[in-house]
Amino acid sequence: MPTILRRGPYRLFFFSDEGREPPHVHIERDNLTAKCWLRPVHLGRNDGFSAKELRVILKLVEDHEEACWQAWSDYFG
């Protein structure tokens, strides 16, 4: 599970076997997870985050979209 970024309580990552899916990142904090698609950034799945926290997460992914995209491209080629 390559980690792309850690910011505050959040870890952005993807699974090493997901190269057949469109580019996306998973976000986790404690036992909560979400999935965000890249370009355009939008929520794919939410497992426990509040609506307020999802807004923070989406902003975080938007702010680091290029780094996420680059990490995905570098890993999956």
- Which pLDDT belongs to residue 42? 97
Model pLDDT for residues 32-46, shown as the tens digit of each residue: 999 999 999 999 999
Give the pLDDT band (50/70/90) at residue 70: very high
Give the pLDDT band (50/70/90) at residue 77: confident
Separation between Cα atoms, residue 47 and residue 19, nearest integer Å: 22
